[in-house]
Amino acid sequence: MHVWWSYEPRVREAGWSVARLRAGRSRDLSRGDRTNPEEHRGDRRDRDKTVTKVATQLWSERRSLLAIWLATGLVTALGSLLIHNRYTSTVDFILVSDELDVSQLSGGLAALAGRLPATLRGGGSSTPDFGKAVATMDRTLQIVLRAHPKWTDSTVLAHLDLDIDDSLKLLDEAIRTLTNRVSVTADINTSVVSLSYWDRNRDWAAAIAEAFINATDSVLRLSRSSKAAALEEFLRVQLRAARDSLSTAEDRLLDFNLRNRAVQQSPSLTLHAARLQREIDAAQNLFATLEQQAASARLREVQTTPTLSVLDPGRPPYRKSWPPRTILTAVAAFLAVTIRATWLLRGDLATLWLHSPSRPVSV
């Protein structure tokens, strides 16, 4: 007991000292060591000296840095000349709405809308996204590869000059090349589709962009013709059924008139005769409308009007789209000078970082 009571004040004093030390350290960390102004002034003087030394060393090395900047810029500029120029031609177009869907079955044919095949129903075949998808289809790309401009006998496939003997591999590589070079964007608000194609020859860039438009129009026409043929076949079946229905209605009216000579003397017979006559009129109207729609479908099957309207045709571009030699040269020279300066000042930069007030302090 005596020993404990003799050491208790010392233990308490030691505990309070540790607590005061921890509290002071936390205040120093939270206040940024503002409790020791002499230390801060010394750190500030060291940082100022280091900054002055860095500026002096950079000024002394200005000739070497300038030489590195000029050499890197010259090498980059000469190296960029080895990169082939790319010329991009852009064509803007919109799709012409000419769908063969339920809207064609108007005027007494609304009841037949549910019988239409799924391929003949409205599916947004005149939207910009649909035109974008058609322009990048493999079927469209194959038509583009077989196309050739008017001013040359070479096809697009021959112009690509892929130097591949296997025909299947050649076609696959040509399609991949066209896919990498073409870019199609669709604006939903304006319904404008923009197709861009780049080539190392400005004339071929414009020619191939035009070939893409012609191929897209060809695929859309073929799709329209196929839908028209399917609609004609559908209407032919419905027309045959309408003819049978009309013949049946006419036979019922004829049989009724043969069995009932004095129709006017009986109100019930008169009403029944009127009903039979209305059935015949309705069947005749349906039959006439189906005939008209079938004739329209046959015309659409051989229709040659364009499926798209070109707003801005592609022209041979005057300026190249790649490479940006000025930007490449400036970036390369800046990076070379930055790396060289960092290497020369690596020791001073480390000193600045150690004396930085924002550097995290380990406890």
Instruction: Please state, in angstroms and rounded to a whole number, the distance separating the CA atoms of residues 198 and 356.
Output: 51
Whether 66 and 115 share a structural domain: no
| pLDDT for residue 136 | 92
Whether 79 and 110 share a structural domain: no
CA angle 309, 314, 318 (to 5 degrees): 160
Considering the domain boundaries, does residue 274 fall inside one?
Answer: yes
Considering the domain boundaries, does residue 317 fall inside one?
Answer: no
* Nearest Cα to Cα of residue 303 among 218, 224, 215, 212: 224
**In this structure, what token pair is assigned to residue 200?**
């190392």
| pLDDT for residue 225 | 80
Q: Please report, for residues 136, 195, 315, the alpha-carbon distance to residue 133 in angstroms, rounded to integers and kept in the order given.
A: 6, 11, 23
Whether 153 and 10 share a structural domain: no
Question: How high does pLDDT run on average in the chain?
Answer: 78
Q: In 3-state terms, the chain is what percent helix, strand and coil (to 5)? A: 65, 10, 25
| Higher pLDDT, residue 297 or 30 | 297
**In this structure, what token pair is assigned to residue 217?**
């129009």
| Higher pLDDT, residue 84 or 10 | 84
Token pair 């050739």 in the structure block, residue? 148
| pLDDT for residue 89 | 96
**In this structure, what token pair is assigned to residue 41?**
């002034």
| pLDDT for residue 283 | 84
pLDDT of 338 higher than 50: yes
Tens digit of pLDDT for each residue in 22-79?
455 455 445 444 445 555 555 566 666 777 877 888 888 889 889 999 999 999 999 9
**339, amino acid identity:** I
Instruction: Please state, in angstroms and rounded to a whole number, the distance separating the CA atoms of residues 355 and 319.
Output: 52
Share of the chain above pLDDT 90, in %: 33
Cβ count near 72 (within 10 Å): 19
| Band of residue 10 on the pLDDT scale cut at 50, 70, 90 | very low
Classify the phi-psi angles of 29: left when phi > 0, otherwise alpha if psi is within -120 to 50, otherwise beta: alpha
| pLDDT for residue 261 | 73
| pLDDT for residue 8 | 47
Contact 264, 270 (CB under 8 A): yes
Whether 168 and 279 share a structural domain: yes
Whether 196 and 99 share a structural domain: yes
Whether 131 and 272 share a structural domain: yes
Q: Please tell me the total count of domains within the chain.
A: 3
Tens digit of pLDDT for each residue in 305-316?
678 899 999 899
Instruction: Please state, in angstroms and rounded to a whole number, the distance separating the CA atoms of residues 248 and 239.
Output: 14
Instruction: Please state, in angstroms and rounded to a whole number, the distance separating the CA atoms of residues 145 and 139.
Output: 10
| Cβ-proximal residues to 225 (8 Å cutoff; 6+ apart), any chain | 300, 301, 302, 303
Instruction: Please state, in angstroms and rounded to a whole number, the distance separating the CA atoms of residues 2 and 92.
Output: 101
| Higher pLDDT, residue 310 or 271 | 310
* Nearest Cα to Cα of residue 131 among 216, 62, 188: 216
**In this structure, what token pair is assigned to residue 69?**
């900047």
Share of the chain above pLDDT 70, in %: 72
Indicate the pTM of the whole model: 0.67
Whether 111 and 239 share a structural domain: yes
Considering the domain boundaries, does residue 318 fall inside one?
Answer: no
Sheet with 192-199, edge to edge strand ranges: 182-187, 192-199, 87-95, 308-312
| pLDDT for residue 266 | 79
Considering the domain boundaries, does residue 361 fall inside one?
Answer: yes
Considering the domain boundaries, does residue 6 fall inside one?
Answer: yes
Cβ count near 141 (within 10 Å): 21
Whether 228 and 150 share a structural domain: yes
What's the CATH number where 94 sits? 3.30.1890
**In this structure, what token pair is assigned to residue 231?**
């609609």
Whether 280 and 354 share a structural domain: no
| pLDDT for residue 37 | 58
Whether 124 and 268 share a structural domain: yes
Considering the domain boundaries, does residue 139 fall inside one?
Answer: yes
Whether 68 and 190 share a structural domain: no
| Weakest-pLDDT range from 16-30, 162-176, 247-261, 279-293 | 16-30
| β 182-187/308-312 pair status | unpaired
Instruction: Please state, in angstroms and rounded to a whole number, the distance separating the CA atoms of residues 280 and 273.
Output: 11
pLDDT of 354 higher than 70: no
| pLDDT for residue 194 | 95
Instruction: Please state, in angstroms and rounded to a whole number, the distance separating the CA atoms of residues 104 and 230.
Output: 13
pLDDT of 237 higher than 90: no
| pLDDT for residue 285 | 87
Eight-class DSSP state of 83? S
Considering the domain boundaries, does residue 165 fall inside one?
Answer: yes
Cβ count near 266 (within 10 Å): 12
pLDDT of 143 higher than 80: yes
Per the structure, the complete domain to which residue 164 belongs is given by: 87-312
| pLDDT for residue 96 | 84
Whether 189 and 244 share a structural domain: yes
Q: What is the mean pLDDT of residues 185-198?
A: 93
Considering the domain boundaries, does residue 200 fall inside one?
Answer: yes
